[in-house]
Structure 1
Amino acid sequence: MNDAFRTAPRRSRPSSELTDREVQVLTLVSHGKTNKQIGAVLYLSPATIHSHLKKVFRKLDANDRAHAVAQAFRAGMLQ
């Protein structure tokens, strides 16, 4: 698996923290991928990617994809 998708071992997380899958999706967003491209990489539909991103936006209090990526970088969720 690509290093961009490696995550820390599973642990209990507060509801506002991103899931491993949400981090994977946001990592691909940070690389400029579209929902369709992300879906192809993760074997998910673009609608599922859209759903993951809605949850990410809510958890990070972000308005759009760029804002979510910036918030995640600031919070140390993305490298």
Structure 2
Amino acid sequence: MDELFRTSRRLAPIDIDSLSHREVQILTLVAEGKTNKQIGAHLYLSAATIHSHLKNVFRKLDANDRAHAVAKAFRAGVLQ
């Protein structure tokens, strides 16, 4: 288990600049617990557009899901 922890810490750092302003906005709202529909309503976008942005966020952060993306963004200092 200790080896797993040490290995995960050595992963490549997140390139904060690779996230667009809109992606950071959406990730911030995800961190607040908002759904795609709620985020879309807040930003005047469709839930499908939010889903598309989140797919890009997951790819850029090498994240598996919303919680993983939020955790990685917090660790990288993208979110506070």
Q: TM-score range by the shorter chain?
A: 0.7 to 0.9
**Structure 1 segments of 4 or more deviating over 6 A?**
none
The runs of 5 or more residues in structure 1 that have no matched partner are: 1-13
1:70 aligns to what SS in structure 2? helix
Q: How much is the aligned-residue C-alpha RMSD, in angstroms? A: 1.6
Aligned to 2:65: 64
Q: Tell me the TM-score normalized by structure 1.
A: 0.79
Q: Which has the larger radius of gyration?
A: 2
Aligned to 1:46: 47
More helix by share: 2
The runs of 5 or more residues in structure 2 that have no matched partner are: 1-14
Count of residue pairs brought into register by the alignment: 66
Q: Larger relative contact order (C-alpha < 8 A, sep ≥ 6)?
A: 2
Q: Distance in 2 between matches of 1:28 and 1:59?
A: 18
Q: Tell me the TM-score normalized by structure 2.
A: 0.79
